[in-house]
């Protein structure tokens, strides 16, 4: 499966020990479609969040928002942006974890079935993150299932029509 290369980010300036959640999935869609769904605001709102703004480029801003009780908004920066192979962002939530959401990395590689996608969400190993980490651990699989469903139907272009 995909491996993550070390990448310098402002997140590395945090001196706390870190914890990572890692998820791997194979999506039956070309890498370009998967990468677009990870980085383009109109597609992000179809599987990941309720509101999105994304300057899809290295150093660009990304802002995400969710509806519902206890929902927090997120603002950060794209720290890695290597179209169709990898992207990553780091930023802050508006809620109790304000200061650091963590680093979210996506690594893609071609698979015989489509695209192998690896997601790594790294955050400080601090007591105040324990409840948040539980939410992330259950939210990522649900979000990735929505991403798979979104990309399950080939586009007309991919079907050759």
Q: So what's the pLDDT on residue 10?
A: 40
Strand order across the 61-65 sheet: 18-27, 114-124, 102-111, 86-93, 74-82, 61-65, 51-54
Q: According to the model, what pLDDT value does residue 8 have?
A: 39
pLDDT at 12 (0 to 100):
43
CA quadruple 147, 149, 150, 152: dihedral sign = positive
pLDDT at 27: 96
Q: Can you list the residues of the chain whose pLDDT is less than 50?
A: 6-14
Looking at residue 96, its pLDDT comes to 56
pLDDT at residue 132, rounded to an integer: 74
CATH class of the domain at 17-154 = alpha beta
Contact call for residues 54 and 43 (beta carbons, < 8 A): no
């Amino acid at each position: 499966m995909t491996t993550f290369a070390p990448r310098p980010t402002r997140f590395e300036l945090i001196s706390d020990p870190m914890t990572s959640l890692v998820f791997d999935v194979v999506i039956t869609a070309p890498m370009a479609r998967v990468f677009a769904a990870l980085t383009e605001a109109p597609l992000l709102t179809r599987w990941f969040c309720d509101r999105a703004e994304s300057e899809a480029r290295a150093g660009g801003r990304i802002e995400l928002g969710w509806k519902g009780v206890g929902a927090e908004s997120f603002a950060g920066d794209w720290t890695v942006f290597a179209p169709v192979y990898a992207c990553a962002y780091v930023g802050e939530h508006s809620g109790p974890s304000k200061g650091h959401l963590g680093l979210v990395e996506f690594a893609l590689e071609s698979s015989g079935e489509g695209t192998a996608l690896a997601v790594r969400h790294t955050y400080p190993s601090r007591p105040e993150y324990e409840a948040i980490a539980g939410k992330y651990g259950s939210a990522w699989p649900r979000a990735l299932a929505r991403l798979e469903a979104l990309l399950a139907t080939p586009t007309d272009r991919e079907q050759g029509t």
